[in-house]
Amino acid sequence: MADSRTRSDKYGTHEATKTPRAFNEACRELVAKKLAEAGGDWNSFVFDRSYELLTAKEFAQIEAEFLARTGHKFDVSATISAKESPEKYKPIAQVEVAKPSGSAEGGKTEVGEGDNVVRYPKNVEGIARFIRTSEIVMDMLMNGVPENTIAVIDDSGGTLTAPILEQFKGVICFGGTVRSHLGILTREYGIPCLMNAKVDGLAEGDRVEIEVNAVAKTAQDYQAGRTATAKIWKLG
């Protein structure tokens, strides 16, 4: 049976936002130009000469021209990106690691929100522990992850904490989306997780509650610009 979908539906040529649209259009123009210059059919171009005729330098030039023309900066999903290429990425609004900040007024204070990866029946409570370096991961790998750890992580890549991820009670991540690597890993391990978190007033050792019984955010929510956030509370 023939596929009834249009080419645009099937291959996603109508991008939801301006940034990928600009990049994809520039890449399509480059490929069309190289194909015309090379001659021959599409299969011979793709399988024989594309690596020769399409260079990393040309794709890097597309990115550089776009950033220079628009002043756009990318959202960070990994700390190392902002450190290595600050001209390309938005600054990271990191929460300072401090001593436990004491009892919350009234026993429960909202200190942030994030995008819920999976909806669970009950919220999760634990101790906020900032995990930012390989040294911290190695220490926990050797000596064990402290009980009831709610891991507070800058990067959404998942590589840093992968060796100890399944031992977390929950995760708060400052970057990425529910479709980022860390979001996918926590979903597979069944670990409650909030991505793209915005936090103010949370410190190392604070008791926290994350609202993982809130509705999970979807890819369609991101594309439509719909807000679907879950709360983070500090507990007294």
pLDDT in tens, 118-154: 999 999 999 999 998 889 999 999 999 999 999 999 8
- Side chain identity, residue 15: E
pLDDT given for residue 131 in this prediction: 92
What tokens were used for 127? Answer: 């101790």
What tokens were used for 70? Answer: 């628009």
User: How many domains does one find in the chain?
Assistant: 2
CB 228 within 8 A of CB 115: yes
Q: Quick check: is 1 in a domain?
A: no
Helix (H, G, I), strand (E, B) or coil at 217: coil
B/e letters for 189-201, b = 16+ CB within 10 Å, e = fewer, are eebbbbbbbebee
If asked whether residues 55 and 123 sit together in one domain, one would say: no
If asked whether residues 158 and 215 sit together in one domain, one would say: yes
How many of the other CB atoms lie within 10 Å of CB of 146? 12
Helix (H) or strand (E) holding 166: none
Q: Quick check: is 14 in a domain?
A: yes
Domain end residue (candidates: 49, 72, 95): 72
Which residues are within 8 A (CB) of 88 and not within 5 positions of it... i.e. 6 or more apart?
63, 67, 73, 74, 81
pLDDT given for residue 211 in this prediction: 96
Q: What is the C-alpha separation between 136 and 161, in angstroms, rounded? A: 10
If asked whether residues 127 and 205 sit together in one domain, one would say: yes
Q: Quick check: is 33 in a domain?
A: yes
If asked whether residues 59 and 133 sit together in one domain, one would say: no
Q: Quick check: is 50 in a domain?
A: yes
pLDDT given for residue 126 in this prediction: 97
Q: What percent of the chain has pLDDT over 90?
A: 49
pLDDT given for residue 77 in this prediction: 64
What's the whole-model pTM score? Answer: 0.68
Below-70 pLDDT ranges, the chain: 1-16, 77-79, 92-106
pLDDT given for residue 236 in this prediction: 82
Q: Quick check: is 179 in a domain?
A: yes
Strand runs (DSSP E) across the chain, as ranges? Answer: 108-116, 124-130, 149-153, 170-173, 193-199, 207-210, 229-235
If asked whether residues 140 and 203 sit together in one domain, one would say: yes
Q: Quick check: is 86 in a domain?
A: no
Which residues are within 8 A (CB) of 40 and not within 5 positions of it... i.e. 6 or more apart?
49
Q: Quick check: is 95 in a domain?
A: no
Q: Quick check: is 98 in a domain?
A: no
- Where in the sequence is the domain holding 17, given as residue range(s)? 7-72
